[in-house]
């Protein structure tokens, strides 16, 4: 399929008040695209209307109250060129909402989205993990079958992360045949799935205190700012990650590049340990830098923990991600850990210190 028309094409961003989606909406608007965002209640869009007021009619909000209901996105997809579907709950409790909410967007596009040219879904690399030690390098041909089997056996008694992995895997597996069926001469759109790991970087959605952080930023805050015991910080944990700003750019490239259509693409910066992040945080804070984030300058807390420098040197990763497809199709060069850490420190300094 040809790339999507240039700006001001209209893009639907589902769950636009979420951590990733707000960055996505802002990046789209900055590049001249029009954005229609969905929220689950009118009040959840108030903050964004103020944030994006300068873009006038290029930004609008629609309410889709229950993502599991048939036709939840019927009105939202009308007149849209590209759908960017980010509205899937990060939950460790149930599988059904994630699957139904994701597949529901396909039905709405099929019946009401005659102008849609591409659907881009934000997935997760957790759908590629075999959940076992000594795994090979993981690529887009891998599936997390082990998690699915465990939930089939244990139901809601399975560990939370396994339930989440199963929900994401089943939703993604359901999308591909749905897209193939719909494209056999019926509808002129195709599907791109982006699978990122943990997301890092400042939040620009509505968050005022540490207890309102999303899961990935909350982990950073608890380990690196509050300071868990050195033995925890210095373990090999940390894993793969990507700066959320780079993920936003990847979504736009997935829209603009013709050869991204029909692809499942891993998008990742690489791997770092918690210890490495901790050392970056501590070194930057010791310099008493003033860093800029969310357009405001703030002083960095000078007392952040350093863990045990050097303790994870030479650690072997249980798995690694093959990002060659990302580089080939997008030519994307991601931000490094030090830049991410500096900007995230600045963001943390804006938060209320109340628990």
Residues 42-53 pLDDT 10s: 899 999 999 999
Residue 198 is assigned to a structural domain of this protein: yes
Residue 65 is assigned to a structural domain of this protein: yes
Residue 43 is assigned to a structural domain of this protein: yes
Residue 107 has pLDDT above 80, yes or no: yes
Q: Which two tokens mark 164?
A: 């989440």
Any bridge partners for residue 241, and if so which? 198, 270
In this predicted model, what pLDDT tens digit does every residue of 198-257 receive, in sequence order? 777 777 877 777 777 877 777 777 766 676 544 444 445 556 889 999 999 999 999 999
In this predicted model, what pLDDT tens digit does every residue of 8-47 receive, in sequence order? 899 999 999 988 999 999 999 999 999 999 998 989 999 9
Cis peptide, bond prior to residue 8, ω within 30 of zero: yes
Any bridge partners for residue 118, and if so which? 82, 190
The residue among 114, 127, 123 whose CA lies nearest residue 195 is 123
Residue 339 is assigned to a structural domain of this protein: no
| CATH code for the domain of 122 | 3.40.50.720
Specify the range with the lowest mean pLDDT, choosing from 60-64, 234-238, 280-284.
234-238
Residue 101 has pLDDT above 90, yes or no: no
The total number of structural domains that make up the chain? 1
Q: How far apart are CA 207 and CA 178, in angstroms?
A: 36
Our measurement of the distance from residue 148's CA atom to the centroid of its chain's CA atoms, rounded to an integer in Å, reads 22
User: What is the average per-residue pLDDT within 101-119?
Assistant: 87
Which structural domain, as residue segments, surrounds residue 70?
10-203+240-268+316-334
Q: How far apart are CA 48 and CA 246, in angstroms?
A: 21
Specify the range with the lowest mean pLDDT, choosing from 5-9, 111-115, 307-311, 316-320.
307-311
The predicted pLDDT at position 326 comes to 96
Residue 246 is assigned to a structural domain of this protein: yes
Residue 287 is assigned to a structural domain of this protein: no
User: What is the average per-residue pLDDT within 144-172?
Assistant: 88
Residue 350: exposure state from Cβ atoms within 10 A (0-12, 13-18, ≥19): middle
């Amino acid at each position: 399929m040809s790339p999507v028309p240039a700006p001001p094409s209209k893009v639907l961003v589902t769950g636009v008040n979420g951590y990733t989606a707000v960055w996505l909406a802002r990046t789209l608007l900055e590049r001249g695209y029009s954005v229609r965002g969905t929220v689950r209640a009118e009040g959840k869009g108030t903050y964004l209307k103020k944030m994006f007021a300068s873009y006038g009619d290029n930004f609008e909000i629609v309410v889709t109250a229950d993502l599991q209901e048939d036709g939840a996105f019927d009105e939202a997809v009308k007149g849209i060129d590209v759908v960017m579907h980010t509205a899937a709950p990060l939950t460790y409790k149930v599988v059904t909402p994630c699957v139904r909410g994701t597949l529901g967007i396909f039905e709405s596009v099929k019946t009401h989205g005659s102008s849609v040219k591409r659907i881009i879904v934000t997935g997760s690399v957790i759908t590629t993990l075999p959940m076992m030690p000594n795994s090979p390098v993981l690529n887009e041909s891998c599936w997390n079958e082990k998690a699915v089997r465990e939930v089939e056996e244990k139901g809601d008694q399975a560990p939370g992360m396994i339930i989440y992995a199963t929900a994401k895997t089943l939703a993604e597996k359901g999308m591909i045949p749905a897209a193939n069926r719909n494209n056999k001469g019926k509808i002129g759109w195709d599907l791109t799935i982006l699978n990122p790991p943990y997301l890092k970087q400042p939040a620009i959605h509505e968050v005022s205190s540490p207890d309102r952080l999303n899961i990935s930023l909350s982990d950073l805050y608890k380990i690196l700012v509050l300071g868990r015991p050195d033995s925890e910080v210095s373990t090999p944990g940390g894993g793969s990650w990507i700066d959320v700003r780079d993920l936003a750019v990847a979504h736009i490239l997935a829209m603009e590049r013709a050869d991204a259509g029909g692809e499942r693409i891993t998008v990742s910066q690489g791997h770092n340990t918690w210890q490495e992040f901790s050392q970056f945080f501590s070194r930057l804070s010791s310099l008493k830098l003033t860093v800029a984030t969310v357009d405001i300058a703030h002083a960095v807390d000078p007392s952040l923990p350093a863990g045990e420098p050097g303790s994870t040197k030479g650690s072997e990763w249980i798995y690694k991600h093959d990002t060659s497809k990302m580089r080939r199709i997008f030519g994307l060069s991601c931000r490094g850990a030090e830049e991410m850490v500096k900007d995230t420190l600045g963001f943390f300094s804006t938060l209320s210190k109340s628990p």
